[in-house]
């Protein structure tokens, strides 16, 4: 056997064997993370209940604190679950067990079932051995599934592991996200009527000159009574910009609001704000709110002057933008 060569440069030709399991483990931890993962691809350690005493675990690529553990694509293992007890509840934990023989230093993995304690009330998880392979632990158990047993029957098999997506999947998801951002499919803007009018004490729609939108998220109307209808329930950011000014020699309180067609939280006001204008100087209102909106909510942006205000007008530059966040 060739003499082992000690080097820190593992991605290299060194003239003989020179890579240790510790180096590979540390490099994998730096790449994938320090914990336990199922790497994306194949059936990803899928579980199938065969009987109340048998569960099949399909292929996977595990990364156990940096140790890669590969079950081939056609591979599976049937693990045995001990009989339940009539009238009792029990939780078992299926693990992927890492072991290192202290004398030979040979490392290995296997499936194992950690049996819980039967309980007439709520079942508790049994203890699982968590070791730190990096610092020399010879035993570590990666949690895979919680098997819930009620009486004699398996009632649930709950995954306890994280699936780490591969680069190809992440690249595809980033591309899809960028496409959504670039195409701005999750936002809509109405307003910018483009002509001025005198404000009254009765709220009036700001109007919109924007083309009608009817996509997965929104349906808008245009013209003097512009609205946005929400088509998917979720978390939204609603923003309104409003502009108004009192006439020369007058003062006015300019008020802007976004009204919904039904109650939102306590009332139907989504946004409300006001600013004073004096002697022809314009005032600008910028308001925003993050709020949960249900499918079918209709938003109407409006502007007015307060009851005690003098003569005032708006230039028709006001607008409302709605952005779906989640």
Residue 175 lies in a domain: no
CA pair distance 238, 235, nearest whole angstrom: 10
Whole-structure pTM over 0.75, yes or no? Answer: no
Q: Over the range 267-288, which residues count as b (16 or more CB within 10 Å of their CB) and which as e?
A: ebebbbebbebeeeebbebebe
d(CA 229, CA 214): 9
pLDDT of residue 229: 96
Residue 107 in any domain: the answer is yes
Give me the pLDDT at residue 266, please. 80
263 within some domain: yes
126 and 43 in a common domain: yes
Question: In this prediction, what percent of the chain has a pLDDT beyond 70?
Answer: 98
The DSSP annotation for 73-138 comes to: EEEEEEEE-----TT-EEEEEEEEEEEE-TTT--EEEEEEEE----BSSS--PPP-----GGGT-S
Shared-domain flag, residues 204 and 284 = yes
Q: Considering 164, 197, 225, which residue would you say is the last residue of a domain?
A: 164
The 10 Å CB-count burial string (b at 16+, else e) for 26-47 is bebbeebeeebbbbeebbbbeb
- Give the mean model confidence (pLDDT) for residues 229-242: 94
The last residue of one of the domains, among 164, 195, 221, is 164
Q: What average pLDDT does this structure show over 31-43?
A: 95
Q: Are residues 56 and 126 in the same domain?
A: yes
Top-confidence residue, 267 or 116: 116
Residue 50 lies in a domain: yes
Inter-residue contact 28 to 21 (CB < 8 Å): no
pLDDT at 1: 64
**Domain co-membership, 156 together with 251:** no
Q: Domains in the chain: how many in total?
A: 3
Confidence of residue 158 (pLDDT cuts 50, 70, 90): very high
Q: Please name the helix (run of DSSP H) or strand (run of DSSP E) that holds residue 182, with its range, or none.
A: helix 167-183
Tokens of 261: 């067609």
How does pLDDT run across 204-222, given as a tens digit for each residue? 999 999 999 998 899 999 9
Residue 185 — pLDDT band, cuts 50, 70, 90?
Answer: low
For residue 83, what pLDDT is reported? Answer: 97
Contact 96, 133 (CB under 8 A): no
Residue 24 shares a structural domain with residue 92: no
In contact, 77 and 95? CB cutoff 8 Å: no
Strand partners, 159: 145
| Full residue range of the structural domain in which residue 26 is found | 1-32
Q: Is residue 172 part of a domain?
A: no
In a domain, 57, yes or no: yes
Cα 314-315-317 angle, rounded to 5 deg: 110
Strand partners, 62: 38, 69
Co-location of 22 and 42 in the same domain: no
**pLDDT at site 184:** 57
Same domain, 210 and 298: yes
**312 and 297 both lie in a single domain:** yes
- Residue 263: what are its φ and ψ, rounded to 5°? -60, 130
Give the model's pLDDT for residue 183: 62
| In a domain? residue 121 | yes
Tell whether 121 and 248 lie within a shared domain: no
Mean pLDDT over each residue of the chain, to the nearest integer: 93
7 and 126 belong to one structural domain? no
- Give pLDDT, residue 278: 85
DSSP 53-72: TEEEEEEEEEEETTEEEEEE
Indicate if the pLDDT at residue 32 is higher than 60.
yes
CATH code at position 254: 2.60.120.40
- CA nearest to 289, candidates 246, 322, 250, 316: 322
Indicate which CATH number applies to the domain containing 121: 2.60.520
Give the mean model confidence (pLDDT) for residues 110-117: 98
- 39 and 17, same structural domain? no
The domain boundary, picked from 164, 198, 226, lies at 164
> Over pLDDT 90: what percentage of the chain?
77
- CA–CA dist 219, 310 (Å, integer): 36
Q: Which residue has the higher pLDDT, 92 or 281?
A: 92
Same domain, 140 and 22: no
In a domain, 300, yes or no: yes
Hey, what are 178's tokens? 């960028």
The secondary structure element, H or E, covering residue 190 is strand 187-191
Of the candidates 208, 199, 201, 225, the one whose C-alpha atom is nearest the C-alpha of residue 282 is 199
**DSSP character at residue 250:** -
Rounded to an integer, the average pLDDT of 97-115 is 97
Name the nearest CA neighbour of 111 among 147, 135, 83.
147
Rounded CA separation 50/306 (Å): 72
């Amino acid at each position: 056997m060739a003499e082992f060569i000690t080097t820190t440069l593992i991605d290299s030709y060194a003239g003989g064997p020179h890579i240790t399991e510790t180096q590979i483990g540390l490099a994998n931890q730096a790449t994938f993370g320090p914990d336990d993962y199922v790497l994306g691809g194949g059936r990803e350690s899928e579980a199938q209940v065969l009987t109340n005493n048998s569960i099949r675990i399909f292929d996977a690529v595990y990364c156990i604190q940096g140790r890669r553990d590969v079950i081939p694509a056609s591979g599976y293992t049937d693990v045995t679950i001990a009989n339940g007890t009539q009238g009792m509840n029990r939780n078992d934990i299926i693990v992927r067990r890492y072991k290192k023989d202290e004398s030979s230093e040979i490392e290995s993995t296997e499936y194992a079932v950690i049996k819980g304690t039967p309980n007439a009330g709520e079942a508790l998880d049994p203890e699982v051995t968590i070791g730190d392979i990096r610092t020399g632990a010879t035993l570590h158990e990666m949690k895979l599934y919680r098997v819930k047993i009620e009486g004699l029957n398996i009632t649930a098999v709950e995954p306890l592991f994280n699936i780490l997506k591969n680069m190809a999947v992440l690249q595809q998801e980033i591309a899809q996200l960028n496409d959504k951002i670039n195409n701005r499919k999750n936002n809509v803007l109405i307003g910018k009527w483009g002509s001025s009018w005198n404000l009254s004490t009765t709220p009036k729609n700001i109007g919109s000159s924007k083309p009608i939108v009817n996509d997965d998220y929104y349906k808008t109307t245009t013209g003097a009574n512009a609205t946005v209808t929400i088509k998917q329930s979720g978390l939204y950011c609603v923003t309104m910009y409003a502009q108004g000014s009192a006439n020369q020699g007058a003062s006015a309180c300019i008020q802007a609001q976004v009204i919904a067609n039904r109650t939102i939280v306590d009332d139907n006001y989504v946004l409300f704000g006001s600013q004073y204008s004096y002697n022809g100087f314009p005032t600008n209102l910028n308001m925003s709110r993050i709020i949960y909106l249900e499918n079918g909510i209709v938003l109407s942006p409006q502007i007015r002057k307060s009851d005690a205000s003098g003569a005032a007008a708006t230039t028709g530059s006001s607008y409302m933008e709605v952005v779906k966040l989640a």
